[in-house]
Structure 1
């Protein structure tokens, strides 16, 4: 089973399973932007047809994840079916024999850790263009192939929360709303971000600001509503995530941020399961407004 789009990209159907009357489907395709084969997953609610296309929530996952983590662990499908929202989950980095990885095999850089940016430094610049992939190439493919509309929202977890915030803030005309779980809010000021940015973007920290949510709020503001959930028992909270930095930047920019500190929750998908329905309802409110 395959399809062809006007972008001359073949997609190959990998698997499917019926769930809550909708369908979870997995595909692979050749990415022109990343220069490698990529895989993504999509949940299509039962109401999605060519005559009634549905809006889409793009989910960006965190370090070490693939398209499978959210789809298998988040427990999002019942509510997505009820609300009539499709969910698309891409992989977290380019992959393949020609794609470079962290030379030490570390989990926080290279494969599985694309940080949703466009790398400018060799050897990463040949393949690591996850920003362009998520913002442009993947939505064009999705909208040309499936019964979905051009109404989009974006969400993510940890590194993917960083991606959702930065992509949403920079592309307010392309999305209706933004949310995140446990996001890396200020990567310029934390070890994960500093390592990734130094390697992908080089030592000039002025170039890092284009991929830092706090810096982007300072320079761009944000017209979109933002919902962030953060567990107060998250082991990465103080060193890596720094939600107080995001709250301060959003306050200065008068952005519509709701930051909810959730007592007792950690960084895991148990946390995401607990509040994913809130996030889906949050996005549905704005995606429905967009249809009007």
Structure 2
């Protein structure tokens, strides 16, 4: 039994683990949950990493997404990390959209954020390597998905690391932080005011920079049309246009009546897990 585990629950014949460790990348204690399906008892299984949105912790997905029944059936492990560094001495902001609970999955270069807010490296390197080392997951079958800020994180991480992640999907993602207030505040604070540096964390910019002819898996995005953040912050049409321009395969589904919350996510979660399972094999 890994010494990372601080709690465990039986769930659909699999194991739901709560874990904690000292991060050398974020320089603080970090928490994550990990669901291991029954198939993991026989050997390594595919792993999908879920990135949550603003104000969330590792607990939001775990308690609200309703993902583990389908994950058990498909033989998928699901990793759900916290959304930022936390604790005494970790910088914070008065707003909900910056600081603790709002790491934006970037590596900060600016004070006072730089010492702890290195969430891009934490997710793609340290946490990934730790989970591969400690638990029965297949390093060649990794996917990533997320919601809102986490949808932004999933898309950008996938596009920059296609040698690592073989599948991606998102719920109501922030597709272009360069073109919305949340992104302006977060990237301006974490990365600085030079917008050239922001391009590496904007999925629309990354798609266009990658261009045509590269092998990329189909991307799945679901968006509720009753989402209060749709027009000002999310703007899925920008990503749709960027994908079309370079021939990136995209399924963008728009749903009448659905908002930004976890009831929306629950409704279409099975589709996302099936999407990843099909691509990861």
1:227 equivalenced with 2:220 (yes/no): yes
Aligned to 1:119: 108
CA distance in 2, matches of 1:44, 1:24: 6
Aligned to 2:32: 40
Q: Which runs of 5+ in 2 are unaligned?
A: none
CA distance in 2, matches of 1:109, 1:39: 19
Q: Which of 258, 262, 265 is 1:272 aligned to? A: 265
- Give CA-to-partner distance per residue, 1:135-174, whole Å, 9 cap, x none: 0111100010011111100000000000000000111111
Aligned to 2:187: 197
Q: Which runs of 5+ in 1 are unaligned?
A: 4-10
- Give CA-to-partner distance per residue, 1:99-134, whole Å, 9 cap, x none: 1001xx210000000000000001101110000011
Aligned to 1:212: 202
1:75 equivalenced with 2:66 (yes/no): yes
Map 1:46-61 → 2, pairs under 5 A: 46-49=38-41, 52-61=43-52
TM-score by length of 1: 0.93
Query: What displacement does 1:56 show?
Result: 0.2
1:85 equivalenced with 2:40 (yes/no): no
Aligned to 1:7: none
Aligned to 1:167: 157
- Give CA-to-partner distance per residue, 1:194-217, whole Å, 9 cap, x none: 000110000000000000000001
CA distance in 2, matches of 1:99, 1:254: 42
CA distance in 2, matches of 1:190, 1:149: 36
Question: Which contiguous aligned blocks of 4+ residues in structure 1 show a shift greater than 2 angstroms?
Answer: none
Q: Which of 16, 26, 30 is 2:8 aligned to? A: 16
Q: How many residues align?
A: 277
CA distance in 2, matches of 1:141, 1:253: 35
SS in 2 for 1:279: helix
Query: What displacement does 1:2 show?
Result: 4.1
The answer as to whether partners of 1:209 and 1:215 remain within 8 angstroms in 2 is yes
CA distance in 2, matches of 1:107, 1:42: 26
CA distance in 2, matches of 1:210, 1:176: 19
Query: What displacement does 1:224 show?
Result: 2.6
1:132 equivalenced with 2:121 (yes/no): yes
Query: What displacement does 1:52 show?
Result: 1.6
SS in 2 for 1:255: coil
SS in 1 for 2:38: coil
The answer as to whether partners of 1:16 and 1:23 remain within 8 angstroms in 2 is yes
CA distance in 2, matches of 1:112, 1:209: 22
CA RMSD after TM alignment: 1.0
CA distance in 2, matches of 1:27, 1:53: 19
CA distance in 1, matches of 2:55, 2:6: 21
SS in 1 for 2:9: strand
CA distance in 2, matches of 1:46, 1:267: 31
TM-score by length of 2: 0.97
